[in-house]
Amino acid sequence: AALADDLTGAAARGELIVLYQPIVTIETGAAAGYEALVRWRHPVRGLVPPLDFIPVAERTGLIYDIGLHVLERACTDMAAAPGRPYVSVNLSPRQMQTPTLVHDVLAVVRRSGIGLDRLVLEVTESAIVDEQSGGIATLHELRSHGIRIAVDDFGTGYSSLHYLTRLPVDILKIDRSFVAELDGTPTGAAIAEAVIRLAQVLRLRTIAEGIETTEQAHELLALGCHTGQGYLYAPPRPLDEALRSETRRV
Ligand code: G
Ligand code: G
Ligand code: MN
Ligand code: NA
C-alpha cells in the first residue's frame, strides 16, 4: 500500500526515468531503434525496477498516466536523436483496455514532433487475445495511423498459433528465454526457429530479445532473424549514453 501511495505523483515529481536499449541490425550492430524502459528513482528505496512497481501501477490504474508520461518522454527524447531512430514503448493490458488510449497516444506523439511511423508499441499476447478487452480493435486503430505493433515476450503467452494469423501486428519479439536456449543444437533452436518461420509466412518482422553472446547472434542470423537487442550490444542506458554507445558487429 505504501508503495502505491508513493507512486501517486511519482511522474509529476520527476522520479520516473526512461532508459533506452538499442535494437540493432545484427549484421552491422547499428541501432535501428531503441526500447524505452522505465525506472523509478524512489527517494528512499532507491532505484525500483519495473517488475516491482508496474504490477502495482496496473492494480491501482496509475499505469495509464505513467504510461503516457513514459511515452511522452520517449517520443520527445527521440525527436532530438540523430538518424531518426524508432522508439519502442511497452503497453500493459490495463492501458490497452482504456477507451481513450488511441486518442491520447496520438496527441502525445504529435506534440513531440516525431512521425507516427517512428513509434512501435509493445503489447503482450494476453493483452490482445482477451476477446472482451477490445484489444484487437484498438490495435487496428493504432495501425491505421501508422503506428507499428510488436508482440512482446512472444511464445510465453497463451495465444494459439491459429489466432495469431488474424492479429493486427507487425513484429514478433522472440522472448529471451528462447534466445538463451540457443546452444548450437536443433533442440535448443526449436522454438526460436518456429517463431522465425511463422513470422516469415505471416510476413511479420522478428526481433530477438536478450542476446548475450556472439554465438546466439550468429545462430539467429542463420535462422533468419536479423534484428535484436541484449547485453551483447548494450544494456538499457540513459538517453545520452544510449545514443553515443558503440555498437558491435558479430
Ligand atoms: O527493464 P526491465 O527488464 O527491468 O523491464 C522489466 C519489465 O518491465 C519488462 O517486461 C518490460 O516490458 C516492463 N516495462 C518496462 N518499462 C515499461 C513501461 O514503460 N511500461 C510498461 N507497461 N511496462 C514496462
Ligand atoms: O519484457 P520486456 O521484453 O519488455 O523486458 C525487457 C527486459 O529485458 C528489460 O528489463 C531489460 O533490462 C532486460 N534485458 C535486456 N537485455 C537483456 C539481456 O541481454 N539479458 C537479460 N537477461 N535481460 C535483458
Ligand atoms: Mn518489451
Ligand atoms: Na520480452
pLDDT (tens digit, 0 to 9) for every residue of the chain, 250 residues total? 588 999 999 999 999 999 999 999 999 999 999 999 999 999 999 999 999 999 999 999 999 999 999 999 999 999 999 999 999 999 999 999 999 999 999 999 999 999 999 999 999 988 887 766 688 899 999 999 999 999 999 988 766 677 777 889 999 999 999 999 999 999 999 999 999 999 999 999 999 999 999 999 999 999 999 999 999 999 999 999 999 976 667 7
List C-alpha distances in Å: 88 to 13, 61, 183, 199: 24, 22, 28, 19
- What pLDDT is attached to residue 23? 98
Amino acid at 137: A
Q: Which residues surround ligand 3, an ion (CB under 5 A)?
A: 90, 122, 152
- What pLDDT is attached to residue 155? 84
Q: Indicate if the alpha-carbon torsion angle 79, 234, 96, 154 is positive or negative.
A: positive
**Looking at this predicted complex, what is its ipTM?**
0.96
Q: How far is the CA of 83 from the centre of ligand 3 (A)?
A: 22
- What pLDDT is attached to residue 99? 94
Confirm or reject: Cβ of 92 under 6 Å from ligand 2. no
Domain boundaries, the chain: 2-235
SS (H, E, C) 182-218: CCCCHHHHHHHHHHHHHHHHHCCEEEECCCCCHHHHH
Q: How far is the CA of 176 from the centre of ligand 2 (A)?
A: 7
Q: How far is the CA of 191 from the centre of ligand 1 (A)?
A: 23
Q: Which residues contact 8 (CB under 8 A, 6 or more apart)?
A: 60, 62
Architecture of domain 2-235: Alpha-Beta Barrel (3.20)
